[in-house]
Structure 1
Amino acid sequence: MKANVGGIDKLLRIVAGAALIGLTLSGVIGMWGWIGVIPLATGLMGWCPFYPLLGLNSCPSKS
């Protein structure tokens, strides 16, 4: 697995995933908030399985 999630993308995924999980745990939103596990995991790993399918890569290119 080659990293394909860059800095800002990684940060946004981690924040959004943690926010969804936090809101779910506090009872503000329903069980669908557990979907936040996906962006949290992809942000922490630095790899998104859908990016290659879509031809995307937010990592800076190395010269």
Structure 2
Amino acid sequence: MELQRNLGRLDRIARGVLGVWLVAGAISAVRDDRTTTAAALTVAGAGLLFNARTGFCGCSAALGIDTTSSGAESAE
């Protein structure tokens, strides 16, 4: 299955930074013995890191949102 990119550069950077921040929060939660919080932060962070790496977001695709420069040009 090929994922068509629908995230622009700035969107990918923001998701990557937030994903790393959430994973760091998950590590902190594990150290404080808050496993449920750690699991939720890990899943959210991993999802954002996947989005940042692949340039694809399933929710954006379902809503028809394309922040790539080619997508913005084709919408005009």
TM-score using structure 1 length: 0.85
Equivalences for 1:1-63 in 2 at 5 Å?
1-27=3-29, 30-31=37-38, 32-34=40-42, 35-61=44-70
Which of structures 1 and 2 has the bigger CA Rg?
2
Query: Match for 1:41: what amino acid?
Result: F
Distance between the aligned counterparts of 1:43 and 1:7, measured in 2? 9
Identity %: 24
Gaps of 5+ in 1: none
Residue identity opposite 1:57 in structure 2: D
Output the CA distance in 2 between the equivalents of 1:52 and 1:19.
Answer: 24
Say what the alpha-carbon RMSD is for the aligned residues.
1.9
| Count of equivalent residues | 63
Greater displacement, 21-30 / 35-44: 21-30
Note the C-alpha offset of 1:26. 2.3
Q: Which ranges in structure 2 are unaligned for 5 or more consecutive residues?
A: none
The one-letter amino acid of 1:21's match is V
